[in-house]
């Protein structure tokens, strides 16, 4: 292990030596001679052959030559320490390479180098509200999480080449439509996965409105409230999701419904993401910071009344919020996002047969 550790150290030192050799070429020549010996030794190790003992001895003797003259009794313990340190250097290097490969694969597949905690990755390639896994406690739990992350990465690699479409959402329930059919120029289908409290979802939705996205795609919305250790990442995501899903369940169950009923959820989302209150504060800011759950229900109910919904129908929607149908719908759609789409951040958009994570910027 001494020669392998020496080779690793020489690789790291090589950057400095390369710079110094510009001014003193003899430094580079001496380094290159030692490096060749180290590489020859490592190459033999790769082929499961014994390393040249003379190089190993050269390394040890270089370190121990002063100790031999002054403290000969310390030679043996220091020699053992050198072997232990060499093993540690090799193990740390191998571990670092494995982690680097894992991070690069995750960055390619998910757009983040940290599978379980996307928000902790400074190399995150997407602007979005990350879906972080729960904290692990204990050494063995962390090992299990690490192994599981490898499984997630390899399991999601086909997503990069996959053609996404309606078949991936065939089991989704009560999805609301974000644009009237008569406003479209073609029959492309798209899916927006959003959290009502996610600021990036708001920005993404505004960008979609500014472009011809909704003219070019019949867009369905799937509401996904992001959970964290304390419950939900955004204060009122849960109650807002329950209300929006209840609105769509009401529309789908209504025997005689008008065209307006199909777009009630869309109207609430549009107002929430694009409009301000009488004080000039974004409604989403109010949702996340200032409103209680009951105030959210009252606010959305008020909006429905402004959209032409009768009081008796609004009451039915509020009753549906606590129904098994709404709870099952939210849980079912959550499984689609987690297990089929493998989303690591919100918003996630499916359009033009591809999955797009994070902010829509076109």
pLDDT, one tens digit per residue, over 288-336 is 999 999 999 999 999 999 998 999 999 999 999 999 999 999 999 999 9
Whether pLDDT at 102 is above 70: yes
Same domain for 149 and 172?
A: no
Whether pLDDT at 348 is above 80: yes
Residue 138 forms part of a structural domain:
yes
Residue 22 forms part of a structural domain:
yes
Mean pLDDT of 214-235: 89
Mean pLDDT of 31-59: 56
Same domain for 309 and 261?
A: yes
State both tokens at 58: 């050269």
Residue 307 forms part of a structural domain:
yes
Whether pLDDT at 229 is above 60: yes
State both tokens at 49: 């052959």
Predicted pLDDT of residue 283: 95
Same domain for 185 and 236?
A: yes
Whether pLDDT at 213 is above 80: yes
Residue 2's pLDDT band, with cuts at 50, 70 and 90, is very low
Dist. CA 194–CA 200, nearest whole Å: 9
- How many structural domains does the chain have? 3
Same domain for 72 and 182?
A: no
Mean pLDDT of 189-193: 93
Same domain for 336 and 226?
A: yes
- Highest averaged pLDDT of the listed ranges 63-77, 111-125, 153-167, 188-202: 188-202
Same domain for 175 and 313?
A: yes
Residue 100's pLDDT band, with cuts at 50, 70 and 90, is confident
Tell me if 105 sits within 8 A of 160, measured CB to CB: no
Q: Which of 52-61, 157-166, 188-197, 212-221 bottoms out in mean pLDDT, i.e. has the lowest?
A: 52-61
Same domain for 123 and 243?
A: no
Same domain for 149 and 168?
A: no
Whether pLDDT at 221 is above 70: yes
CB atoms under 10 Å from CB of 325, counted, come to 15
Predicted pLDDT of residue 288: 93
Residue 140 forms part of a structural domain:
yes
φ/ψ of 273, rounded to 5, equals -90, -15
Instruction: Give percent of the chain with pLDDT exceeding 70.
Output: 67
246 is in which domain, residue-wise? 163-357
Same domain for 71 and 124?
A: no
Rounded to the nearest integer, the mean pLDDT of the chain is 78
Tell me if 248 sits within 8 A of 323, measured CB to CB: no
Whether pLDDT at 56 is above 70: no
Q: What is the pTM of this model?
A: 0.71
């Amino acid at each position: 292990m001494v020669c392998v550790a020496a080779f690793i150290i020489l690789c790291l030192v090589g950057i400095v030596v390369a710079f110094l050799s510009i001014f003193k070429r003899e430094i580079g020549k001496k380094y290159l001679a030692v490096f060749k010996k180290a590489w020859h030794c490592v190459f033999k190790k790769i082929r499961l052959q014994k390393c040249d003992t003379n190089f190993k001895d050269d390394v040890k003797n270089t370190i121990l030559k002063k100790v031999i003259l002054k403290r000969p009794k310390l030679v043996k313990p220091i020699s053992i320490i050198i072997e232990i340190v060499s093993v540690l250097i090799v193990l740390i290097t191998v571990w670092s390479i494995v982690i680097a490969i894992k991070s690069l694969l995750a960055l390619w597949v998910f757009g983040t180098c940290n599978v379980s905690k996307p928000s902790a990755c400074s190399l995150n390639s997407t602007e979005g509200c990350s879906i972080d896994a729960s904290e692990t406690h204990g050494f063995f739990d962390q090992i299990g999480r690490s192994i599981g992350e490898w499984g997630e990465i390899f399991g999601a690699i086909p997503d990069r080449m996959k053609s996404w479409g309606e078949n991936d959402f065939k089991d989704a329930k009560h999805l609301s439509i974000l644009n009237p059919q008569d406003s479209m120029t073609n029959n492309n289908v798209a899916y927006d996965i959003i959290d009502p409290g996610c600021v990036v979802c708001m920005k993404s939705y505004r960008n979609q409105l500014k472009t011809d996205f909704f003219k070019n795609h019949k867009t369905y919305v799937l509401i996904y409230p992001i959970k964290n250790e304390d419950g939900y990442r955004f204060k009122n995501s849960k109650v807002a999701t329950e209300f929006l899903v209840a609105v769509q369940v009401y529309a789908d169950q209504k025997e005689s419904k008008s065209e307006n009923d199909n777009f009630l959820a869309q109207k609430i989302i549009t107002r929430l993401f694009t409009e301000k209150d009488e004080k000039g504060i974004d409604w989403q800011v109010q949702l996340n910071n200032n409103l209680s759950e009951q105030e959210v229900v009252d606010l959305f109910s008020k909006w429905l009344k402004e959209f032409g919904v009768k009081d008796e129908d609004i009451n039915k929607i509020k009753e549906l919020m606590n129904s098994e149908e709404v709870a099952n719908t939210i849980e079912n759609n959550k499984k689609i996002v987690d297990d089929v789409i493998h989303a690591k951040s919100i918003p996630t958009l499916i359009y033009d047969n591809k999955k797009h994570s994070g902010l829509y910027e076109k």
